[in-house]
Structure 1
Amino acid sequence: MSVKFGTSGLRGLSTELVGSVSALYATAFARHMLDSGALQTGSPVVIGRDFRPSSPEIAGTIMAAVKRLGLEPIDCGTIPTPALALYGASIGAAGIMVTGSHIPADRNGIKFYRPDGEINKSDEDAITRLASELKDSAQANMVDAGGGANHEADTTKLFVDRNLGVLPAGSLAGKRIGIYQHSSVARDMLVTVFEHFGATVFPLGRSEQFIPVDTEAVSPDTVTQLARWTDELALDAVLSTDGDGDRPLVADEHGMPLRGDLLGLVTARFLGAAVVATPVTSNSGLEQDGGFSVRRTRVGSPYVIAAMEEALASGELRVIGFEANGGLMLGSDFSIGETLIKALPTRDSFLPALAVLGTAAQRGLSLSALVNDFNLPVALSDRLENYASERSASLMAHLRGSRQQLETFLSPIGTVETVIDIDGLRVTLTDGRVIHFRPSGNAPEMRCYVEAADADSAAALLKQGLSLLASWSI
C-alpha cells in the first residue's frame, strides 16, 4: 500500500483508494477524533467529493465506515472543498473530502477536517499510526456502500452567500468574464457568484470527463485555449479552479494566467492584512511590498495554517495565508464594508478571484495593467511528470551532499550565491536570479520554480532548470 499524506491530504492511486484502504483511513480518522474528544458518539461528519470517476465509491465507503463507529455521515455531494469546510465549521462537524485536487484521474485523495478546521501534521501522524494498528482488522477494512442525509443544497447556499458579500453590488458590471468549467466542482457556483456582481458570464469548456487542471503549472494547451477564448469573445478575464475548487485560476484579457502568489498579494491589500503566511516558493517580492509582515513556511497548507495559528497566538490580527498555487486561507475574521467574512483556514479559490477582479475594476485597470502595477520579479514554475520518487530523492541527496556538488550541477546556469533549504533547495545566483528545485509532495513529479528580472530571462532559466532535472539519473 503506497498511499500517504502529502502537502494536503492523503494521496494514492485510485485503484488503491477504492475499497478497503479508504475504509481503513476513514476508520482511523474517526477513531482519532473520538479518542481526542473532538467528536462524540452521534457527532456529524460532513462528506464531499469531486467529479473523479472513483470519488463516489470512495465517498460511499467512507460514509459506511464512520457510521460503524457511531458517527452520523452527512452527504454534501459534489462541492468545493472550502464549501465543505465552511459548512462543517458552521454546524460543528468534522469533514472528509474525497479529491485528488489537480492530479490526474488515475489518482485520488482524501482530505480530513476537524470541527475547527484542517487536520495538522500531528493529526496526520496519529491517523497514520492508527491505520497501521488497524490494518489487520476486518471491521476497519470492511467495504460497504454507505450513505447519509443529503445537505448539498445547504452547503452550496452557505458558501455562495458568503461570497456574495465580498464586493459591492454591480461592481463588475460591464465586465465580460469566461468561466472555464471543465470538471471543477466549483463550475456552477462561479457562474452564480460573478453574474451576481453584474458581469456578463460565458461558461466555457464544460466536460463530463475529468480534466486535471494545475493552477500552479498551467499546461501550454490550456494557455492556448484561454487565449483563444479571450480573443474570440473579447473577454476581460477567464476564471477557473482545480478539480476540488480550492485553487484559483485567473487569466487576464489575453488569456495569460496570473501567478497565484500575485493573487495572494492583491488579496492581502484588498483585505488590509497585517500578517501573511506563505511558503518559500512564493514570489520573493512579497517582502518588498511593505504593507504586511511575511512568515515563510514549507510547502503545504498544514504548514501555512500552523504559521497563521502562531501569529494569532502571539496577538496578531488580520492574518491570512496563501500558497503559490493561489489557494487563500483566512486565519482571522475580516470586515469588508458592512460585511463580516469569517475566518476559513483552508484553501479557497473564490475570495482571491473576487479580490483581483474587484481591485482591477475599482482602479479602472485591465488585469494585465494591474499585474504591471505591482512590478514583482517575473516568477515562473513548471514540473516534470512521472519523475519517480526514488529519482527525485537521489537528486536532492546529491545536491545537499556538498556545496561543490550543487555548484557543479548548476554551473551551466550560473554561480551560486545563497541557498535556502526550507522545502527543496532555493538558490539565489550571483546575478540575482532564483531557481528552486522541489519534489512534489502529492505525486511523482519534480517541480522547478524560477525568478528573474524579465519574462524572457525567467523563461530561459525555467527551460534550463527543467533540462537539468531531466538529465539526472540515479
Structure 2
Amino acid sequence: MKTTVKELMQESGVAFGTSGARGLVSAMTDRVCYGYTAGFLGYMTEQGEFAPGGEVALAGDLRPSTPRILAACARAVRDMGGIPVFCGYVPTPALALFAFARGIPSLMVTGSHIPADRNGIKFYRSAGEVLKEDEAGMSRQVVDLGEDRFGADGMLAIPETLPAVTDVEDAYVRRYIDHFGAGALSGKRVGVYQHSAVGRDVLARILTELGAEIELLGRSETFVPVDTEAIRPEDVVLAREWAAQYGFDAIVSTDGDSDRPLIADETGKWLRGDVLGILCSARVGATSVVTPVSSNTAVEKSGLFGAVVRTRIGSPYVISAMQGELAAGSAVVVGYEANGGFLLGSAIPGKTEGSATRALPTRDAVLPMLAVLTAPAPSVSAQLADLPQRFTFSDRVTPFPPEASARLFGELSAGDEAAQLALQSKLFAEFAGEAVAIDRTDGLRATFAKGGVIHLRGSGNAPELRCYTESESEAEAVALNASAVKAIRALLGLD
C-alpha cells in the first residue's frame, strides 16, 4: 500500500511541526513511525544526503514508548536500503554531534517535555536540523507501507531488533572537557536534578570530570515531564529545599531529551532560559545573537552584542536566521530560545591546547550551564545582577484545544492595527494599561505603556495556549501573567 506522508499525517493525527512529528503514543503506531521515517529518507535521497548502503543514526529518550518507536524507525531505514546506527538512549545534542561529524542523517525519538502519553520523532539532515522549508519536501514523499508488513493494529507483524549500541557519549563528554579545560569546576558544589532526563548520567559525568563535587537528586524511573519554560511548582520548591540543605553553588538539570538546560542559583532559584542565553552568549564572545520574539529584551538593552535578530519561536527559525548572519560574515554567531536551548553556529577556541569547539547548530543544554558555572564571578546570582533588570515569566492554559486558539486569535486580530490595540487595551487595561504596540512575528505580542509585555501564542506541540509576560520586576511579570491568563479564560468563557 502506497500513501504520501501528508496523507499519513491526516489519517493518524500525528502532526509535523517545528519539533518534528509528535502525537499521542496510541496514534504513533509502528506503521505511522515507519512511514514518517521512510518519507524523511526519501527526501534525503532527493537532497543527495542518503542512498542505499548509507548510515542513519538513531537514538531515543527514556519514555516507555521510545524503544518500540525506535524499532519501527530502524525497520524503515533497513527497508530503504540503509544501515541503522543505534546510538542508545542519549541526549539529542550527543546524537547530533555524532551524526553531523559523520555527515549522515539522524533521528531522535523523543517528546521532549510533553507527558509520557505522547512521543515524537526529531529529524536531522546530515549537517543540521530539518528546517521549515524541508517540511513540504517530506510531506509529499510517497511511501510504501506494504500489504503484510503491519498487523491490523498498525504494529510490525515481525518484531524488529535494534542493533548493538554505538558509543557517542565519549565524544560528547570530550567536547566540554576540551572547551572548558580539566579542573574548570574544581571547588564547585553542584546538585544534579536527574528525574527522568535521558542525559542525567552523562551530565553527572561531565561535571565530575571537570572537577565539581556533585550530589545526585530526584532520580525517577517513571517519566517526569519537566518543561524548562514552564517550571512545575513542585520543582520550584524542591530546588529551594535542596539549596538550603546542601549549600550548592548551583543546581542543574535538563528536559526529557536533554537538549534544554535548567540551572538554579545558589539559593535554588531557577534561571529563565532567555537570561541564561544572554550570559552564555557573552561568555562565548558572540557578535550576532539570534533569538525568538518571546525572549527577554535585556539582550538588546545590555549592549553586549553587535547584532540581535528576532525570529518566530522554534529552533528551525533560529537556525535559518543564524545561517543568514553567518553568510553576512558575522564572526561568532549564536542562537538561544526562551526555553534555554543554546545553539552554537560558529567554531570557537577551547581551553585545551590546540582544541576548537565545533559549531553545533541544534539545541544544547550543557554549554550554557557550564558557561555560567565557570564564569569569573562570585556567584550565579551576581551574574544576573549585572544584566539590565527585565524579567520574563511564562505559563500555559491547558487544555486549550485548537478551536479555542483559533477563536481567541480571530477575536484579537480583527480589524486594523488601531482596532487591535484598542481591544488589547480594553482586555488588559485594568492591570496593564494602554497597549502601544503589537508584534505579530509569532502569535500576538503586545507592549503596554506601563512597560509590560503580554505575548500569546498557541502551542504547536500540545493542546495548550502559551502566555509570555515581561516587566520591570519578577513579581510584576508573574502577576501580569496570571492576570492575562484570567482575562483570556473569561473572554472565552473557560471558567
1:431 aligned to which of 434, 444, 450: 450
Contact 1:18-1:54 at 8 Å conserved across structures: no
Q: Is residue 44 from structure 1 mapped to residue 55 from structure 2 by the alignment?
A: yes
Q: Which moved more, 1:418-427 or 1:366-375?
A: 366-375
In the alignment, is residue 238 of structure 1 matched against residue 256 of structure 2? no
Secondary structure of the structure 2 residue equivalent to 1:53? coil
Distance 2:491 2:203 in 1: 42
CA shift, 1:315, in A, is 1.9
Offset of residue 319 of structure 1: 0.5
The equivalent residue for 1:81 is 92
Summarize the Cα distance change of 1:140–1:125 in structure 2 as closer, same or farther, 3 Å threshold: farther
Q: Secondary structure of 1:228's partner?
A: helix
Q: Secondary structure at the match of 2:386?
A: helix
Using the TM superposition, name which of 195-204 and 59-68 deviates more: 195-204
Secondary structure at the aligned position of 2:400 is classed as coil
| Deviations, residues 374-407 of structure 1 (Å, cap 9, x unaligned) | 1330111111222111111210111011313333
1:406 aligns with 2:424: yes
**Residue of structure 1 aligned with 2:173, choices 141, 160, 182:** 160
Query: Once the 2 structures are TM-superposed, how far is the Cα of residue 346 of structure 1 from its aligned partner?
Result: 0.4
The one of 352, 365, 377 aligned to 1:349: 365
The match for 1:210 is 223
Distance verdict in 2 for CA 1:3–1:412, change over 3 Å = farther
Q: Measured at CA, do residues 139 and 326 of structure 1 come closer, stay the same or move farther in structure 2, by a change above 3 Å?
A: farther
Counterpart selection for 1:120 from 131, 136, 141: 131
* Pair 1:88–1:219, CA change in 2 (3 A): same
Structure 2 distance, partners of 1:35, 1:435, is 43
Match of 2:323 in 1: 309
Find the counterpart in structure 1 of residue 312 from structure 2: 298
**1:332 pairs with one of 334, 346, 359:** 346
Give how far 1:157 is off.
Answer: 0.8
Within 5 Å, give how 1:211-230 maps onto structure 2: 211-230=224-243
Partner SS for 1:447: strand
For residue 136 of structure 1, report the CA deviation from its aligned partner: 7.0
- The number of aligned residues is 468
* Number of the residue aligned with 2:5: none
Cα offsets for 1:190-221 (capped at 9, x unmatched): 11111122211001111111001000110111
Q: 1:90–1:197: structure 2 CA closer, same or farther, 3 Å change rule?
A: same
| Aligned equivalent of 1:145 | 159
How far is the alpha carbon of 1:113 from its aligned partner? 0.6
Which amino acid in structure 2 is aligned with residue 383 of structure 1?
Answer: R
Whether the 8 Å contact between 1:272 and 1:318 is mirrored in structure 2 is yes
Relative distance call for 1:108 and 1:79 in structure 2 (3 A) is same
For the Cα contact (< 8 Å) 1:18–1:57, is it kept in 2? no
CA shift for structure 1 position 9 = 1.4
Query: Which is further off, 421-430 or 115-124?
Result: 115-124
Residue 3 of structure 2 is matched in structure 1 by none
Q: How far has the Cα of 1:137 moved from its partner?
A: 5.5
Aligned with residue 200 of structure 1, among 213, 222, 227: 213
SS of the residue 1:66 aligns to: helix
SS of the residue corresponding to residue 123 of structure 2 reads strand
Matching residue within 323, 329, 332 for 1:318: 332
Which of these residues, 28, 32, 36, is aligned with residue 21 of structure 1?
Answer: 32
The one-letter code sitting in structure 2 at the alignment partner of 1:431 is: K
Q: What SS is found at the alignment partner of 2:111?
A: coil
Matched, 1:93 2:92: no
Q: Deviations over 1:230-285 (max 9, x none)?
A: 11111121100000000000011121110111111111111101111110011111
C-alpha change, 1:247 and 1:255, in structure 2 (3 Å) is same
Residue 111 of structure 1 corresponds to which residue in structure 2? 122
1:6 CA drift (Å): 2.4
**Which residue of 457, 460, 463 maps to 2:479?**
460
| Distance in 1 between residues matched to 2:105 and 2:163, nearest whole Å | 15
Instruction: Please give the alpha-carbon distance, in whole angstroms, between the structure 2 residues aligned to 1:185 and 1:448.
Output: 28
Checking the alignment, whether the CA contact within 8 Å between 1:239 and 1:249 is kept in structure 2 is: yes
Asked if structure 1 preserves the Cα contact closer than 8 Å seen for 2:301 and 2:388, the reply is: no
Distance verdict in 2 for CA 1:445–1:194, change over 3 Å: same
Contact 2:389 2:473 in 1 (8 A): no
Given the superposition, is the C-alpha separation of residues 116 and 373 from structure 1 closer, same or farther in structure 2, using an over 3 Å criterion? same
User: In the alignment, which residue of structure 1 is the partner of 2:436?
Assistant: 417
- Match of residue 443 from structure 1: 462
How far apart, in 2, do the equivalents of 1:280 and 1:139 lie? 48
Q: Residue 24 of structure 1 contacts residue 140 of structure 1 at CA under 8 Å; is this kept in 2?
A: no
What SS class does the counterpart of residue 150 from structure 1 fall into?
coil
Which secondary structure state, in structure 1, belongs to the residue aligned with residue 492 of structure 2?
A: coil
The 2-side partners of 1:340 and 1:458 are apart by 40
Partner-residue secondary structure (3-state), 2:88: strand
- Give the match for residue 187 of structure 1: 200
Contact 2:59–2:90 (CA<8 Å) still a contact in 1? yes
- State the Cα RMSD in Å: 1.6
Question: Structure 1 pair 135/387, CA: closer, same or farther in 2 (3 Å)?
Answer: farther
**166-175 or 282-291, which deviates more:** 166-175
Give the SS at the match of 1:441: coil
Matched, 1:471 2:485: no
Does the Cα contact within 8 Å between 1:26 and 1:66 map onto a contact in 2?
yes
Paired letter, 2:132: K
CA distance in 2, matches of 1:406, 1:470: 15
- Report the equivalent of 2:65: 54
Length-normalised TM-score, structure 1: 0.95
Q: Could you tell me how far apart the structure 1 residues matched to 2:44 and 2:139 are?
A: 13
- Taking the aligned partners of 2:238 and 2:469, their CA distance within structure 1 comes to 24
Tell me if structure 2 keeps the 8 A contact 1:57–1:145.
no
Structure 1 residue aligned with 2:272: 259
Which residue in the other structure is 2:45 paired with?
34
Q: CA deviation at 1:7?
A: 2.6
Q: Shift in Å at residue 30 of structure 1?
A: 1.1
**Unaligned runs of at least 5 residues, structure 1:** none
Distance 1:165 1:469, change over 3 A: farther
Say whether the 8 Å CA contact 2:302–2:388 is kept in structure 1.
Answer: no
Deviations 1:98-138 (A, max 9, x none): 000000001111000111111111212211222xx448754
